[in-house]
């Protein structure tokens, strides 16, 4: 029987020759044969028949026996000695054993590699054959199933002669394939599919919308990945991408229409989407029955109804936009029911709502100027200007309690010296002859580090009162901001004979307090963020423990105590009415989809205005597309993220992969709205925000367009006249035919205000061929006009950027704020600029220009109208908020900052 026949007769594998037998003819008449067995190899010589286990092969060695003969020895087995082998035979036998053993050890790995390669090649071949994008879900599944082998050994097989000899050509090809970068391979195939689709389906892309899709729009349609984040520039046709993506999915048979969902942020947008996609599908002969466009809230109501069997309704007061009014009614109820709540509400509204918890740099918060003492400070209810927030708290508390006091009255004993002015304690109570010092002592028991010699001054003042027998009352900032200091102060003043009569309705001649509606609006805003982010009392307490020291105060605890009472009453009213609010719709819907109580049957989800998504919306979206085989395409522009105060969280878009998983990020960078001039100006301005996605916006218009224009009005009252004069010039150009309508029957002008009251700046003006409309910038999103006028680029509390400071307690509930100054206000001006098809006109008041306007001028991005006689203006180098304007003082003219009294920077006046 031959060695081959012997191998088959004993049941060993017959897949390859190496697996059947390995043999060699020895020198000097010593023959041997090696046969593969299940648990090792059988070595046959003329006189022996011995089994060699796989692990023994590693212990084999060849030893010299005689001059030309060798013996094969296995360490640890005294009986395994094979003598009389020639050098060549011994080497051949050893090599055969090692090679066969190596081949045996890796055969199972090779089989798994080959099987995995087959799966990979099958996926790739199907994608190419069907011209369908390979989604990330498929790639991740293949990577997860990749055999766990010693890749270092496999990838280095060329360097090992034994392994090289043990592998067939097919084995080597399999290893080469296994070693490929799978994501890069899939990306190459996807790019090839994309290019083929752009050619093969050009007619579809040309007809699906009223205007042919651009290549970048078509790319976003063909890129049928599980997760696609389309970063769309203003006017770049994002809605066209959504419509075409839905049509492409139906036309290719990827997703039927009834399993496609389009989500919009308001009812008008949802209606427009539904109408547009239905019309366009019909135009190209595709079915649209069952395809749904919906608002998030309407969809959420349906999910709740599906999960519970009882669809709730939106609370009537919310449907009418009376949410703040409901908070005020709840506050009135609680004030009537509880003296404790009434007192806490009045304390917060009248005292703490105007106070920043951070006293580290109070100069930034100054709101008044004392002409007599020539210093900045804080205006009190009594009308005087005090030096610190703590003193204002005390002065306002004394005023509301009807206490007669004097601020900084000279001490009763003259202690002035050549090096020290006369001592003036903070407060004096004349009816009881008592002095009061308020110390700037924080929670750490120390004054601010910048207060050099403060502790020594405290000791000197205490000694002075003790020496002269005058009564001194003391308070500390840490106790006052914690509210506990007021109770102690009330007890001490009462004991000294003062009458305290708390009256929150006392007429106030000085600083204006926060009114009830303003505080109710703050409560409602806080509630929207609390509910949207699914925050409970426990999670809020945990946030408070991790918050900066400035928030971990009794002031914050006082606010939270008020809030939770209002929150509970709000919820009780919803429950009694069997209704929900906007936040409940989203949060409860997300809960039900996440836990499987509702399983919406949508495979393709398209989301509009993605930059405005809240955490609750993000949860709902993520839950909808979590099951395998789901596809999400979100379209938005992070440069237009302007709704953080309303609950939007820009990180949902900028950190897309963290929330929704790995996918594609594509840009729509060609705008069909703006000129290149507007693109360049607006992009350069908004791109100073560091935490934004990068885009290079290009205009589809052939000409560069007119420069962005800056006009200067002499005063706020003169702004309407400046607008009228510019409109008169436009009307003359329209009348003469130098300017003609492009898309409408008339040339359109939108006056975009930062605030609703900017409407008052629009003149009563009309002319043939020109239509003027006022909108707030927030309401202008998604709209456009030939020309845009921004009428109030001023500075101050109601300037642009707005200086209205949010209450710091909002930090506990809102998404993380950006650390770049006025980042959202900067995006808001970007939105205004990019509404214009032809030109944007910015109007400021000479000497009170917005820092934004000065920045645009200094950067050379806008053109100042020479007829407006605008003076040279520069941003204050100290505060970077105000501008330097000419002022006059006791020593003549000088330049002062328009942010005075918060900023007292001055510069020498230089005459022209």
Whether 903 maps to a domain, the answer reads no
pLDDT at residue 590 in the model: 96
Residue 364 pLDDT > 60: no
Weakest mean pLDDT among 279-283, 496-500, 890-894: 890-894
Q: Is residue 787 domain-shared with residue 650, that is, in the same domain?
A: no
Q: Which of 203, 280, 267, 299 is nearest to 241 (CA)?
A: 280
pLDDT at residue 6 in the model: 34
Residue 163 pLDDT > 90: no
Q: Is residue 460 domain-shared with residue 535, that is, in the same domain?
A: no
Which domain CATH number covers 807? 3.40.50.300
Q: What span, in angstroms and rounded, lies between the C-alpha atoms of 688 and 708?
A: 18
Q: What span, in angstroms and rounded, lies between the C-alpha atoms of 792 and 786?
A: 19
What percentage of the chain carries pLDDT values higher than 90? 59
pLDDT at residue 3 in the model: 35
Residue 814 pLDDT > 70: yes
Dihedral sign (CA 545, 550, 555, 556) = negative
pLDDT at residue 159 in the model: 41
Q: Using 50, 70 and 90 to split pLDDT, how confident is the model at 11? A: very low
Domain membership of residue 640 as a residue range: 224-308+601-672
Residue 273 pLDDT > 80: yes
For residue 698, what are the contacts with CB-CB under 8 A and spacing of at least 6? 669, 670, 671, 676, 679
Between 613 and 73, the more confident residue is: 613
Whether 898 maps to a domain, the answer reads no
Q: Is residue 558 domain-shared with residue 622, that is, in the same domain?
A: no
Whether 409 maps to a domain, the answer reads yes
Q: Using 50, 70 and 90 to split pLDDT, how confident is the model at 452? A: confident
Q: What span, in angstroms and rounded, lies between the C-alpha atoms of 488 and 372?
A: 33
**How many Cα atoms within 13 Å fall on the side-chain side of residue 257?**
18
Whether 569 maps to a domain, the answer reads yes
Q: Is residue 173 domain-shared with residue 79, that is, in the same domain?
A: yes
Max mean pLDDT among 538-542, 723-727, 895-899 falls in 723-727
CB of 570 closer than 8 Å to CB of 527: yes
Q: Using 50, 70 and 90 to split pLDDT, how confident is the model at 871? A: very low
Digit-coded pLDDT (tens) for 499-523: 999 999 999 999 899 899 999 999 9
Q: Which of 751, 743, 698 is nearest to 724 (CA)?
A: 751
Between 366 and 202, the more confident residue is: 202
Q: Is residue 44 domain-shared with residue 71, that is, in the same domain?
A: yes
Q: What span, in angstroms and rounded, lies between the C-alpha atoms of 291 and 256?
A: 8
**Counting Cβ atoms within 10 Å, is residue 83 exposed (0-12), middle (13-18) or buried (19+)?**
middle
DSSP string, 741-787: -SSSSSEEEEEEESSGGGGGGS-S--BTTEEEEEEETGGGTT--EEE
Average predicted confidence (pLDDT) for the chain: 85
DSSP string, 481-534: HTSHHHHHHHHHHHHTT------TT---SSSPPPPHHHHHHHHHHHHHHHHHTT
Provide the token pair at 200.
């093969």
Q: Is residue 62 domain-shared with residue 136, that is, in the same domain?
A: yes
Q: What is the mean pLDDT of residues 630-655?
A: 92
The pTM of the whole model exceeds 0.75:
yes
Which among 628, 647, 672 is the end of a domain?
A: 672
Digit-coded pLDDT (tens) for 567-607: 999 999 999 988 999 999 999 999 999 999 999 999 999 99
Whether 909 maps to a domain, the answer reads no
Whether 217 maps to a domain, the answer reads no
Q: Is residue 188 domain-shared with residue 42, that is, in the same domain?
A: yes
pLDDT at residue 25 in the model: 43
Q: Is residue 748 domain-shared with residue 783, that is, in the same domain?
A: yes
Q: What span, in angstroms and rounded, lies between the C-alpha atoms of 732 and 378?
A: 51
Q: Is residue 484 domain-shared with residue 546, that is, in the same domain?
A: no
Q: Is residue 374 domain-shared with residue 483, that is, in the same domain?
A: yes
Q: Is residue 295 domain-shared with residue 427, that is, in the same domain?
A: no
Whether 205 maps to a domain, the answer reads no
Q: Maximum Cα–Cα distance for the chain, whole Å?
A: 132
Q: What span, in angstroms and rounded, lies between the C-alpha atoms of 329 and 332?
A: 5
CB of 20 closer than 8 Å to CB of 13: yes
- CA 710 to chain CA centroid, Å, is 32
CB of 157 closer than 8 Å to CB of 222: no
pLDDT at residue 169 in the model: 76
Q: Which of 21, 25, 15 is nearest to 168 (CA)?
A: 15
Residue 278 pLDDT > 80: yes
Weakest mean pLDDT among 392-401, 545-554, 613-622: 545-554
Question: In angstroms, what CA-CA distances link 144 with 121, 175, 429?
Answer: 16, 18, 78
Q: Is residue 548 domain-shared with residue 630, that is, in the same domain?
A: no
| Total domains in the fold of the chain | 5
Q: What span, in angstroms and rounded, lies between the C-alpha atoms of 196 and 188?
A: 12
pLDDT at residue 911 in the model: 55
Whether 390 maps to a domain, the answer reads yes
């Amino acid at each position: 029987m031959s060695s081959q026949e012997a191998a088959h007769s004993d049941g060993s594998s017959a897949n390859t020759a190496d697996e059947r037998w390995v043999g060699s003819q020895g020198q000097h008449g010593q023959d041997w044969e090696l046969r593969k067995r299940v648990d090792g190899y059988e070595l046959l010589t003329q006189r022996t028949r011995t089994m060699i286990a796989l692990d023994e092969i590693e212990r084999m060695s060849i030893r010299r026996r005689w001059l030309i003969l060798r013996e094969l020895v296995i360490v640890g087995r005294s009986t395994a000695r094979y003598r009389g082998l020639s050098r060549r035979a011994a080497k051949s036998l050893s090599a055969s054993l090692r090679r066969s053993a190596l081949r045996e050890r890796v055969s199972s790995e090779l089989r798994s590699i080959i099987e995995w390669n087959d799966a990979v090649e099958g996926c790739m071949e199907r994608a190419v054959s069907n011209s369908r994008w390979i989604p990330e879900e498929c790639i991740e599944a293949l990577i997860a199933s990749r055999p766990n082998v010693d890749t270092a050994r496999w990838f280095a097989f060329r360097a090992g002669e034994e392994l090289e000899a043990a592998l067939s050509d097919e084995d080597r090809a399999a290893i080469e394939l296994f070693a490929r970068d799978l994501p890069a391979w899939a990306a190459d195939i996807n790019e090839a599919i994309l290019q083929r689709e752009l050619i093969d389906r050009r007619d579809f892309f040309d007809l699906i919308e009223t205007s042919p899709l651009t290549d970048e729009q078509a790319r976003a349609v063909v890129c049928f990945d599980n997760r696609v984040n389309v970063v769309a520039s203003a006017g770049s046709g994002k809605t066209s991408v959504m419509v075409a993506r839905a049509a492409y999915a139906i036309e290719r048979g990827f997703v039927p229409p009834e399993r496609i969902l389009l989500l919009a942020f308001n009812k008008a947008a949802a209606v427009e989407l539904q109408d547009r996609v239905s019309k366009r599908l019909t135009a190209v002969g595709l079915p649209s029955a069952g395809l749904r466009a919906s608002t998030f809230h309407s969809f959420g109501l349906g999910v709740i109804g599906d999960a519970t069997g009882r669809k709730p309704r939106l609370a009537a007061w919310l449907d009418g936009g009376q949410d703040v009014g409901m908070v005020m009614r709840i506050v009135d109820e609680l004030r009537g029911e509880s003296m404790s709540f009434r007192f806490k509400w009045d304390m917060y509204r009248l005292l703490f709502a105007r106070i920043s918890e951070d006293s580290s740099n109070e100069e930034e918060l100054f709101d008044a100027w004392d002409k007599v003492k020539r210093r900045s400070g804080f205006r009190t209810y009594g009308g005087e200007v005090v030096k610190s927030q703590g003193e204002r708290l005390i002065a306002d508390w004394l005023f509301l309690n009807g206490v007669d006091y004097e601020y900084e009255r000279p001490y009763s004993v003259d202690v002035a010296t050549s090096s020290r002015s006369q001592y003036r304690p903070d407060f004096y109570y004349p009816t009881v002859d008592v002095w009061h010092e308020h110390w700037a002592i924080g929670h750490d028991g120390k004054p601010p580090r910048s207060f050099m010699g403060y502790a020594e001054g405290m000791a000197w003042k205490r000694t002075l009162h003790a020496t002269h027998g005058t009564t001194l009352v003391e308070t500390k900032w840490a106790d006052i901001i914690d509210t506990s200091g007021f109770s102690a102060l009330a007890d001490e003043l009462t004991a000294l004979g003062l009458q305290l009569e708390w009256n929150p309705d006392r007429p106030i001649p000085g600083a204006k307090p926060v009114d009830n509606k303003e505080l109710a609006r703050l409560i409602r805003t806080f509630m929207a963020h609390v509910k949207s982010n699914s925050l409970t009392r426990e999670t809020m307490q945990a946030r408070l423990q991790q918050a900066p020291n400035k928030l971990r105060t009794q002031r914050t605890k006082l606010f939270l105590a008020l809030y939770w009472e209002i929150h509970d009453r709000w919820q009780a009213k919803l429950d009694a009415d069997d209704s929900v609010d906007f936040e409940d719709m989203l949060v409860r819907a997300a809960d039900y989809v996440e836990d499987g109580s509702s399983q919406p049957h949508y495979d393709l989800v398209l989301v509009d205005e993605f930059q405005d998504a809240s955490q609750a919306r993000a949860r709902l979206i993520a839950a909808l597309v979590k099951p395998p085989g789901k596809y999400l395409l979100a379209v938005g522009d992070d440069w237009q993220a302007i709704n953080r105060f309303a609950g939007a969280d820009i990180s949902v878009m900028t950190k897309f992969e963290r929330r929704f998983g790995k996918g594609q990020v594509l840009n729509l960078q060609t705008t069909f709205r703006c000129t290149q001039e507007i693109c360049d100006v607006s992009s350069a301005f908004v791109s100073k925000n560091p935490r934004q996605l990068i885009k290079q916006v290009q205009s589809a218009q052939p000409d560069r367009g007119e420069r962005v224009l800056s006009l200067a009005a002499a005063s706020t009252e003169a702004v309407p006249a400046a607008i009228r004069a510019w409109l008169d010039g436009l009307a003359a150009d329209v009348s003469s035919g130098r300017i003609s309508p492009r898309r409408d029957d008339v040339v359109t002008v939108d006056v975009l205000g930062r605030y609703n009251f900017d409407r008052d700046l629009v003149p009563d003006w009309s002319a043939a061929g020109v239509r003027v409309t006022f909108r707030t910038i927030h309401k202008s999103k998604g709209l456009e006009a030939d020309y845009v006028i921004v009428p109030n680029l001023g500075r101050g509390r109601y300037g642009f950027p707005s200086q209205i400071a949010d209450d710091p307690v909002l930090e506990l509930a809102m998404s993380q704020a950006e650390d770049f100054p006025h980042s959202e206000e900067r995006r808001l001006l970007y939105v205004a600029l990019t509404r214009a098809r032809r030109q944007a006109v910015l109007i400021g008041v000479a000497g009170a220009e917005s820092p934004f306007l000065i920045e645009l001028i200094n950067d050379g991005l806008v053109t100042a109208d020479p007829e407006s006689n605008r003076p040279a203006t520069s941003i204050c180098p100290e505060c970077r908020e105000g501008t330097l304007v000419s002022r006059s003082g006791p020593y003549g003219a000088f330049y002062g900052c328009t942010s005075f009294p918060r900023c007292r920077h001055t510069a020498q006046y230089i005459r022209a």
